[in-house]
Amino acid sequence: MKKLFAEFLGTFGLVFAGTGAIVVNDQTGALGHAGIALTFGLIVLAMIYCFGDVSGAHLNPAVTIGFAAARRSQWRDVPGYIGAQILGALAASGLLKFLFPDSARLGATVPAGAASQSFVLEVVLTFFLMLVVLSVSTGAKEKGLTAGIAIGAVIALEAMFAGPICGASMNPVRSLAPALVSGHHEHLWLYITAPVLGALLAIPACCAVREPGCCRVSA
């Protein structure tokens, strides 16, 4: 239960701060695109330092599924983790709706162009995110200076350059929660399937360039 509560709190923090930055910027213009990207990277870094040694601070169903597929964690843990992540994200979007009732989308992700363009971008972005996560984590745990900085930095980097086109979600619940709470479900399928596909594709790539231990539960 401690692991699940850590995933709930961590995902709540991610969605509240990340999508909250979008909502605040829509109303004030104070943050700008770079500020939003940095907010996402910094909140993930903070949550890794806070919960990385408890639950691994996955905060993302795609990462949880990726760890299980790479045999870094057990498949039986996946439903509980994803359930906690969904609840945390929904709670964050619900609070943002209460605080900013005039926000139309609550930071929901939408493609700026063709859906196919955003789908490919989300696959590639999540591929590199998962590749970094697998490379700096121990088993299914993410803890320490290297993990926090590396993962937070890649999220900020990818959000910086790809956010204006696809939203740079890389996380199904980050897109699911604001879409459900705001009532804007357009292209939601894209942001659920593409990150999972990208995370799964990262596993054979990691195993191809690293030691076989990349794809097994660490002792």
Residue 212 has pLDDT above 70, yes or no: no
Identify the three-state secondary structure at position 74. Answer: coil
Per the structure, how many domains does the chain have? Answer: 1
What's CA 105's distance to the chain center, in Å? Answer: 18
For 46-84, write each residue's pLDDT tens digit: 999 998 889 888 999 999 999 999 988 889 999 999 999
What SS3 class is residue 23?
helix
CATH code, 96: 1.20.1080.10
Which has the minimum average pLDDT: 102-111, 177-186, 204-213?
204-213
Contacts of 173 (CB under 8 A, 6+ apart): 11, 15, 60, 61, 82, 85, 86, 88, 89
Q: How far apart are the first and last CA of the chain?
A: 22
What is the DSSP annotation of 29-77? --SHHHHHHHHHHHHHHHHHHHHTTTT----SHHHHHHHHHTTSS-GGG
Least confident segment among 14-18, 59-63, 205-209: 205-209
Q: Where are the alpha helices (DSSP H) in 109-187?
A: 115-136, 145-166, 172-182
- Residue 147 confidence (pLDDT): 83
pLDDT above 70: residue 129: yes
Residue 214 has pLDDT above 70, yes or no: no
Query: Is the pLDDT score of 143 beyond 60?
Result: no
pTM assigned to the model: 0.90
pLDDT at 218 over 50: no
Provide the CB-side half-sphere exposure for 162 (13 A, CA). Answer: 23
Q: For the chain, what is the mean pLDDT? A: 90
The pLDDT assigned to 142 comes to: 57
Do residues 151 and 45 lie in contact, with contact meaning Cβ atoms separated by under 8 Å? Answer: yes
For residue 216, is pLDDT > 70? no
Domain range enclosing 122: 2-215
